[in-house]
Amino acid sequence: MSKLKPMSDQVPASPERRRFVGAATATAAGLTIAPGVMLYQVAHGRPEEQAASSAVRWGMLVDATKCATGCDDCVTACSTENGWTPVAESKHPKQAPQWIRKLELQDPLTQMETNLPMMCQHCAEPPCVDVCPTGASFKRADGIVLVNRHTCIGCRYCMMACPYKARSLVHEDLDDTQKPDVPRGIGCVESCTLCVQKIDRGDGNTACAEACTAAGHNALLFGDMNDPESEISKRLRELPTKQVRADLNLNLGVRYHGI
Amino acid sequence: MKRLLALGAVVLTTAAMAWAGSDNPPKADGAPKPVITKAVKGEQCVEDTDYMRRNHMKVLDGHRDKTVIEGIRTKKYSLKECINCHASETTGSVAAAKDDFCVSCHSYAAVKIDCFDCHSTKPQGSIAMHSLNAETAHYKHKLAAQATSKVSVEEMAGVAQ
Ligand code: SF4
Ligand code: SF4
C-alpha cells in the first residue's frame, strides 16, 4: 500500500483525470497503473507482457485449527500440479524432492496434536538468497522466492541455509516426465513456487489451497498481503497469527494460526 | 575453373537427386542429414526461417531470463511455443526420436541440447496423444498432409557458419 499513498497524494483527483483513468481501465485493463482500481487488476492476473510487480506480495495463511488429521490433499495437489513424484512412490524416498510436507505434531506435555503443512515460507529476507553463490536463488518482485535453474549449480548451500528445510535437490534424471509449465531437472535445487505458473496465468490461487478448499477443510488461504481489501489481509487483521521461528526476523510470506 | 565449377554443380545436383529418391536415411559423407519436419500448427514462425536457424538460441536465452526473473510470459520466443508448433506428429515431442525437430539438427551440428534436462519436450495435451484435442483439431488436415522437407547440405553449411 505504501506504493499507492504517494500516488494519490501527487495526483489531484480532478474530474478530467478520473475520466481518463476510467477510459484507460476499460480499454487496456492492467496496462496503466491507477490508484485502487489497478491494484486489483494487478493482483488478479496481469497481462502476460507485464512484469511481476512489488505492489503485490503473495502470501498464505495456514489455519492449523482447521488442518485435518490424516489428510494430505495439499501435498498430493502440489505433486500433481508441479510434477514431482510423491515420496511414497519414489525409488529413493530419503532423497526425494518435497515441495510441501504435512506435519503432525504432538505436545509431549499435554498430548495436544497440531496439524500443519510446511513449505517454503517465501521470506522477505531469504537466507537462501543470501548464501547463493551464483544468484540463482532470488526473490521475485511479488515476493515469491524461486530458483533460476538456468544458473543453479546444485551446490546446495541454500538447502543448508533455509531454516525450514524447504528445499530439495533433484538427484535423478527426470526423463521427460516434467510438466510443460513446470521445468525442473537433475542437479538443481527446487522448492515451493507458490504455483508461480498459475499466478502468472491469473488463477489467483495455488494448487494446495484449491485442494484444501475442495476437501472442505478451508485451512489454506492464498492472496495478496499488500492489498488491504484481500481476503488474506482481512483474516490476518482479525486472527492471531505466528511466523515460524519469528526470532529469525525473516518476515515470512506464510503465516500460521493456531500454533 | 568454370568447367570445374559446373562439374561440381552437376555432382551436387546428382547427389541431391539420388538422396531425395532413396528410402534410406539421407547421407552426406556418412553423416545422417537432418530431417526438418514442417511445423504442424501455425503458418509462419515468429521470425524468418533463416534468422531462426542462426539465432534461435539467442532469442530463447533472452526470453528465458525475462520469464524466470520478471515473470513476463509473452508467447514470442517462448520455448513452450516452439514446442507447441514443432512437436512431431508421431512422437508428440521435439526431442524424443532422432528425427524430431530439435534433435535432428542438433545431432547433425553436434551441439548438445541442455533444454530438455529440465523442460518437457511435449506440448500441453500432446497432439500425438490427443488427436481430438479441441486446440489442435482444426489442424488435422495439416497432420494428414504429413508435410516434411529435407534440408540441403548447402543450407546446413550456411547455418553452421
Ligand atoms: S523458507 Fe527457506 S527456501 Fe523459502 S525463502 Fe525462506 S530460506 Fe528460502
Ligand atoms: S544449489 Fe543452486 S540455488 Fe542453491 S545456493 Fe547453490 S547455486 Fe544457489
Residue A240 inside a domain? The answer is yes
For chain A, first and last CA: distance in Å?
28
Dihedral pair phi/psi, residue A174, rounded to 5°: -90, -5
Report which of A82, A105, A88, A61 is spatially closest to residue A212, judged by C-alpha positions.
A61
Q: Decide whether any atom of ligand 2 lies within 6 Å of the A74 Cβ.
A: no
Instruction: State pLDDT tens for residues A81-127.
Output: 999 999 999 999 999 999 999 999 999 999 999 999 999 999 999 99
Pocket test for ligand 2, best of A155, A167, A191 (most atoms within 8 A of CB): A155
Task: Identify the burial level of B161 via C-beta atoms within 10 angstroms of its C-beta, where 0-12 means exposed, 13-18 middle and 19 or more buried.
Answer: exposed
Same domain, A12 and A119: no
Q: For each of chain B's 161 residues, which pLDDT tens digit applies?
A: 444 444 444 444 444 444 444 455 555 567 778 888 888 787 889 999 999 999 999 999 999 999 999 999 999 999 999 999 999 989 999 999 988 999 999 999 999 999 999 999 999 865 433 333 334 333 333 333 333 444 555 555 555 43
Q: Cell 502440489 maps to which residue?
A: A78
Q: Decide whether any atom of ligand 1 lies within 6 Å of the A243 Cβ.
A: no
Same domain, A73 and A185: yes
Q: How far is A93 from chain B (nearest CA, A)?
A: 21
Number of domains observed in the structure of chain A: 2
CATH code for the domain in which residue A189 is found: 3.30.70.20
The interface pTM score, or ipTM, of the predicted complex is: 0.79
Q: How far is CA A201 from CA A23, A25, A196, B132, in A?
A: 25, 20, 8, 24
**Mean pLDDT value across residues A210-220:** 97
Q: What pLDDT is attached to residue B78? A: 95
All three cell numbers of A72, joined, read 494430505
CA A225 – ligand 2 centroid, Å:
28
Q: What pLDDT is attached to residue B28? A: 53
Least confident of A161-170, A198-207, B25-34, B74-83: B25-34
Higher pLDDT, A140 or A10: A140
Residue A51 inside a domain? The answer is no
- State whether residue B92 sits within 8 Å of chain A by CB: no
Q: Decide whether any atom of ligand 1 lies within 6 Å of the A193 Cβ.
A: no
DSSP of B1-44: -HHHHHHHHHHHHHHHHHHHH-SSPPEETTEEPPEEEPPSS-SS
Residue A5 inside a domain? The answer is yes
Residue A52 inside a domain? The answer is no
Sheet strand arrangement including A220-224: A220-224, A58-63, A254-257
Domain range for residue A24? 1-42
Same domain, A89 and A193: yes
Q: What is the mean pLDDT of chain A?
A: 87
* CA–CA gap between residue B145 and residue B147 (Å, rounded): 5
Same domain, A66 and A144: yes
Q: What pLDDT is attached to residue B124? A: 83
Q: Which uninterrupted H or E stretch holds B105?
A: helix B101-109
* CA–CA gap between residue A19 and residue A71 (Å, rounded): 51
Q: Which uninterrupted H or E stretch holds B53?
A: helix B49-65
Per DSSP, the three-state class of A137 is: strand
Which of A48, A138, A146 is facing B72, going by the closest CB pair?
A: A48
Same domain, A80 and A200: yes
Q: What pLDDT is attached to residue B140? A: 35
Q: What pLDDT is attached to residue B32? A: 77
